[in-house]
Each structure stands twice: as structure tokens, then as C-alpha cells.
Structure 1
């Protein structure tokens, strides 16, 4: 487990970024959807020209998801900051944490403990760095099945992009009595336990100019 106090400098994150994109680097910025949080994210200023064929292939083969703050992550993070009672005093685990934006928001909102889980080792490095920048404590975990103890709330954003991930909806409710989920890809979850709480607009930061339909984020709450 890596704590925020062990966080690396952005030079380490630049090295992680360059494995995917040779010209890649990160910069500290505040996503438009949750401007009170600062994150190390991909710096689009490095792209002075189009990607070469090799660069494009590298980005597709090993995308640095952690280097972007996706629309659903921003929206769920801001929802938690607007409704701190959802996590305050609770033990929270964030699934597919990416940049860590949702986990960091939960910590800011007064969660008793926050664990951010992602299978990408580079994401764990980024989460620790981003937690440190925001002055919160977040524990990172690279193996969801190895999580320790009981959790009160599971959070997840943009994890249903693959139809094969749909069983996660039931799996989450086996792991905690409450689930906060945000998604912009699936219009009908097909699970009545997930109750729609809000619909908000959001754009990935830095902007990837995705289809407008992917900028409409639905937030759900489920109870076991």
C-alpha cells in the first residue's frame, strides 16, 4: 500500500507519461467539472503537431487513463463534494480510480478512510501524487480482490464502457451496503437497485472532443 505521504514528484509522472507518448508530460490543472481539486494531468501543450504513427499506436495500445479526468469522474467528484453526507465518517473504496479524483473528493468530504483501487501501476503513482497535492490521505490498492476489511461505500465512474463489465453492478453490492456510480456510456443499467440521483453535463479534461452524448453523466445510488 502506498500512502499520499510517499507521493512522487511530477518528474516521475512525466516518465510514466512518456512510456505511452514519447512527448508526453503532465501539468497541474483544475478540471472544469470540479475546480476545487488540482490534479496532475496530461499537458496538451506538448502536441505542437499531429501524432506520428508510432505515437498513435502507443497511445491506443497502452492508454494512460490516469492522465485524463473523465467526465463521469469529475461529475461524481463534485456530487460528493456537494453532498458530503454520502461519505462523511464512512470507509470508502473507489473502483477503477484513474487519476483518483473521486477518491480525493471523498477524502475532502470527510470520509473516515479512502482506498483508491486501479490495476494500472502508473495510476497508483498518480493517485498518490494527486492526493498529496490536495492535502488528503488516500491509500492505493492495485488488486481489487485483495482489499482489506469492510467498506461502507463503493464509488465508481466510467467503468461500464465494456458490456462485459455489466456484472460489476451486482459485484459492487456484494462488497458494500451502498454504491455511488456515475456513467455516461450506458443509458439503461438494467438493474433497478441503482436509482438515478442526478444528470449533469461534463467534459473530459483535457478535452478529448468526445461525442456530445458522452458528456451527459448520470449518477446512481444503490443500496444492498
Structure 2
């Protein structure tokens, strides 16, 4: 394939989010979760495996949605796959977004997420200056893209950003800072 589809790779931020959720299932356990820009569905699958009550995976690319459906079947998880994330009218507890800020225009989604969910978790390795209140950096994870694309090391430094309605209202919410490294 001369120009592979961007979502067939497990980008560093998606990989970091998967490992984070599987290591810290309390972030999704029992929650209604939406994976925005799901690509091949790895984050949605991790949320389901970590105990989310209900998971939606959204992507505008119909081939990505087909891949997500196949990957969900292969992993024996139930995930509702949708194109437009706004068609999910059920209440959400958490929105997950990994590797979606590669295009600065996508920053506008950060405001839309908090209008729709009381909690958002974003994993990103591309934005170097992330000053976007009410989101706050809660940690940095070391990760990598599969397959190895020989990307610069800086793209393996994945930051996690969190929004929580209660924290934003200045009510203590007990969110700890996360530091972790995942070896290849």
C-alpha cells in the first residue's frame, strides 16, 4: 500500500491510552464512555475490557468503523460503533480522545467535549504547548507507534490531559498525577 490509511497504525498516544486504561480500570469501570476518533478501535476495546458499562466508538471514516467492528469481534467486546459522535444522545460519563490533536483545528472539539460529558481524558504527543483551561496535564507516558515508523523520539512522549467538571468547579476530586513509562 503506497499511502496507508492513518488509522491503521496504533499511534503512540492511542497505545499509551490503552495501557493507561488497562492499568487503571477505575477510570472507566461502570461508566458510559465514548472514544472519539477511534481509528481501529483500540481505545474503545480497552475501555470495554477495563469494565466500562457501555462504550461508543466514533470515527468519520467508514473504513475505520469497519475495522473497529472487526477488532471488537476479535476481542469479544460489545462496542456501539458510530460515525458522528453527536448522534450518541445517551448521557456520557467520560469522553476519551487519543491522537486527535495532530490538526490544530481539532482543538475546538475540546470545548464541545465538556459540553457533552462531565469528564474528558485526552492523550496527545503532538501539541507541545497545551494551555487549554479547564483541561490540566495529569501525567506523561512514554510510548511508541506500532508498527515502528521511525518517528522522532519526541512523539513517544505522550501527555495525558484531564477535564472533570467537579475539579473545574474547584471541588477536590482526588486526581493524582501520573508518571509512567511503557517499555517496548
Using structure 1 for the length normalisation, give the TM-score.
0.71
Give the distance between the partners of 1:164 and 1:138, measured in 2 at CA: 27
Larger Rg: 1
Q: Is residue 2:70 matched to residue 1:118?
A: no
Q: Paired residue for 1:97, among 21, 24, 38?
A: 38
8 A Cα contact 1:66 1:122, kept in partner: no
Q: Counterpart of 1:155?
A: 96
Where does 1:35-184 land on structure 2 (aligned, <5 Å)?
Answer: 55=2, 59=3, 63-184=4-125
Q: Report how far residue 129 of structure 1 moved.
A: 1.0
Residues 114-123 or 200-209, more deviating? 200-209
The 4+ residue runs of structure 1 with deviation greater than 4 A are none
Unaligned runs of 5+ residues in structure 2 are 166-184
- TM-score, structure 2 normalization: 0.86
Counterpart CA distance in 2 for 1:171 and 1:187 is 21
189, 201, 204: which is aligned to 2:145?
204
C-alpha distance in structure 1 between counterparts of 2:103 and 2:22, whole Å: 28
SS of 2:63's equivalent in the other structure is helix
Structure 1, gaps ≥5 residues long: 1-20, 22-54
Residues 66 and 126 in structure 1, CA contact (< 8 A), matched pair in contact too: no
Mapped partners of 1:106, 1:187: distance in 2? 26
